[in-house]
Amino acid sequence: MADTTMGPGAPRPALFLRNATGLVKAWSTFDAFVYSFWSVNLITLGLYGMSYVYNIPDGQLLASVLIFGVLVTFIVITYAGLVSVMPRTGGDYAWQSRVLGGGIGFVLAVTGWWFTLWLWAPIYANILVVQFFAPLAATLGWSNVATWAASPNGLFVSALILLAFVGVVVSLGMETYAKVQKICFWIGLAGLAVVCILLAVYSQSDFHSAFNREAASLFNVQGDAYQQTIDAASKGGFTAVAFSSFALVPTLLVLPYLAFYLLWPNWGATLYGEVRGAKDIRKPFWSMFWGLWVTIALVVLVILLMLKTVGWQFYYAANAAYWNSYYAVAGAPAPPVPLWPYPVMWAGFLVNNHLFQALLITVMALWFFGWAGTLFLSSTRVIFAAAFDRVLPSWAANISAKRRVPYGSLALMIAPALVVSWLYAYKTTVQAFFYDATAVIAITFLGTVIAAIILPWRRKDLYEASPVARYKVAGIPLITISGVVSALFLIGMLYEWAHWSLYGSNSPDSAKYFLVTYLAAVVIYVAARIVRSRQGIDLRRIHHEIPVE
């Protein structure tokens, strides 16, 4: 029955294993990479997030992307270390609870992974509209459908479709969805290759002509639509800066916009608890690292191709004209092409065939459908973990017997997300809250990296028993060093969000949102402590370590 395992590269056995439950072969780093790669989704989140960068025209986008990549790598190191020390389902919640305490862990985790994910539902719904429904309808000549899709009704229907899709994915489970993701991954990459090839082989004058041709054909725009777009941006107050110019402070100010997509290579960390073998630090690290840096390489490629073929001034001007019109900036006219400036659609314009353009938009929508299904996956895990700790009612972790649907946690996600989506669609005055969607999660990450910084002292036993303990720099634990750099990075971005009006999150409404969100989490936790105490349950003892001797 006994089996032998050779140590890595060892000339003789490092240990003898016997047949026992759970001894499995390591998971594929590539599979985990795909998940991380989807998390920092270049098309769905990246192009959308970068469409706001026109606000800082003197910020050097390429340099910002590279700086962001280096800084997020420290977060990747920190999270890989935590996965290795405590590979627990619940990720941020479990780590913060065990290191910082149950109350802090609950408040920081549920605000980031539960409440704030409600805000992401309409944001994703809007992305679905601007990257799929509207451009597809316009390309097929259904201009009324395209206009309706961009209306409040269209946005709310898009949110309903998204929530139904997310509910189905959570109910089917990750095994089925992982297969779908793989198909979407390869076809989506093929689509991106086509986009890049088109942008590479055609010139800027070709694009200029193609844009004008499609603007006339699809949107009845007469004259030079390309130039009219630039002019519309100028009238709204936008002034272009050369791509080659560099200024440090504006470049750093771009970082919070990039957080919209590049901050998430560790998104799957809430799920690592279910992965046997996660204690090996290398696999979670490399899967997140490559997910981040392959995306960054693709971002660099896409930026350079846009610079060459679309023109940097036009790219920023198109975004400025669209958003200035969307937010009704005084004096800003509507852009001649009224759709969100979707580089995929622009690449399609280079081929004078509407069916091809529609096909390209559909194929590139797989970047959305391959990822959006996981929107609430991590949230349900955090809700489960809090329910098992008796902080939330036990029904929150209920699953149906027949189909294993986690209906309790889904209800806690989908019902509020429906209300929030309705508000987003029909009450534009509350849209300021949605600018906080990234910052709140960054605060959750900050709590986790602080836990990582003090882990070697606070939970010395766990740390020293982990593979991470052997990684030190000048005698200081690597997880502490990477945690400090990560914390400084996150604090710097939080300062930018709080200080500058560029990001829309330093308004009184944002402050109210933060206050209400964190207060709600504190109230839930305190209420749980009181209620459970009456039931004879002391929530403080959940993470108290039993003496060994």
Stretch near another protein under the rule CB under 8 A, chosen from 85-93, 215-223, 424-432, 487-495: 85-93
Q: Does 2 bind another protein (CB under 8 A)?
A: yes
User: Cβ of residue 17: shortest distance to another protein, in angstroms?
Assistant: 5
User: Cβ of residue 469: shortest distance to another protein, in angstroms?
Assistant: 10
In degrees and rounded to multiples of 5, residue 477 shows phi and psi of -55, 135
Which residue blocks in 223-375 are alpha helix, DSSP H?
225-235, 248-253, 255-262, 282-305, 312-326, 343-349, 354-364, 366-369
Q: Does 466 bind another protein (CB under 8 A)?
A: yes
- Report which secondary-structure segment, H or E, holds 188: helix 174-201
Q: What span, in angstroms and rounded, lies between the C-alpha atoms of 346 and 318?
A: 11
Residues in 400-459 that interact with another protein by CB under 8 A: 401-402, 404, 406
Write the DSSP string, 466-496: SGGGG-EETTEEHHHHHHHHHHHHHHHHHHH
Residues in 128-147 that interact with another protein by CB under 8 A: none
Token pair, residue 200, equals 């590479």
Query: What's the angle, vertex CA 488, arms to CA 485 and CA 492, rounded to 5?
Result: 140
Report yes or no: 241 and 58 within 8 Å, Cβ to Cβ.
yes
CA dihedral 382, 388, 392, 397 (to 10 degrees): 70
Report yes or no: 76 and 449 within 8 Å, Cβ to Cβ.
no
User: Cβ of residue 464: shortest distance to another protein, in angstroms?
Assistant: 9
Q: Does 388 bind another protein (CB under 8 A)?
A: yes
Q: What span, in angstroms and rounded, lies between the C-alpha atoms of 386 and 408?
A: 12
Residues in 357-386 that interact with another protein by CB under 8 A: 384
User: Cβ of residue 100: shortest distance to another protein, in angstroms?
Assistant: 14
User: Cβ of residue 280: shortest distance to another protein, in angstroms?
Assistant: 8
Q: Does 318 bind another protein (CB under 8 A)?
A: no
Tokens 């882990």 belong to which residue? 455
Judged by CB, which is closer to another protein: 29, or 507? Answer: 29
Residues in 191-250 that interact with another protein by CB under 8 A: none
Stretch near another protein under the rule CB under 8 A, chosen from 236-244, 297-305, 354-362, 530-538: 530-538
Judged by CB, which is closer to another protein: 384, or 503? Answer: 384
**Closest by alpha carbon to 275, among 50, 31, 441, 486?**
31
User: Cβ of residue 543: shortest distance to another protein, in angstroms?
Assistant: 6
User: Cβ of residue 450: shortest distance to another protein, in angstroms?
Assistant: 20
Q: Does 530 bind another protein (CB under 8 A)?
A: no
CB-based contacts of 391, cutoff 8 Å, min separation 6: 102, 106, 524, 525, 528, 539
User: Cβ of residue 370: shortest distance to another protein, in angstroms?
Assistant: 13
Q: Does 172 bind another protein (CB under 8 A)?
A: no
**Using the rule CB under 8 A, which residue among 38, 57, 88, 423 binds another protein?**
88
* 8-state DSSP, 7: -
Q: Does 540 bind another protein (CB under 8 A)?
A: no
Judged by CB, which is closer to another protein: 28, or 153? Answer: 28
Residues in 17-56 that interact with another protein by CB under 8 A: 17-28, 31-35
User: Quick one: how far is CA 302 from the chain centroid?
Assistant: 19
Residues in 255-284 that interact with another protein by CB under 8 A: 268, 271-280
Judged by CB, which is closer to another protein: 10, or 334? Answer: 10
CB-based contacts of 189, cutoff 8 Å, min separation 6: none
Judged by CB, which is closer to another protein: 389, or 496? Answer: 389
Residues in 390-409 that interact with another protein by CB under 8 A: 390, 394, 397-399, 401-402, 404, 406
Judged by CB, which is closer to another protein: 325, or 398? Answer: 398
Judged by CB, which is closer to another protein: 427, or 460? Answer: 460
Half-sphere exposure of residue 325: CA atoms within 13 angstroms, side-chain side: 20
Q: What span, in angstroms and rounded, lies between the C-alpha atoms of 527 and 146?
A: 47
User: Cβ of residue 138: shortest distance to another protein, in angstroms?
Assistant: 36
Stretch near another protein under the rule CB under 8 A, chosen from 16-24, 315-323, 354-362, 417-425: 16-24
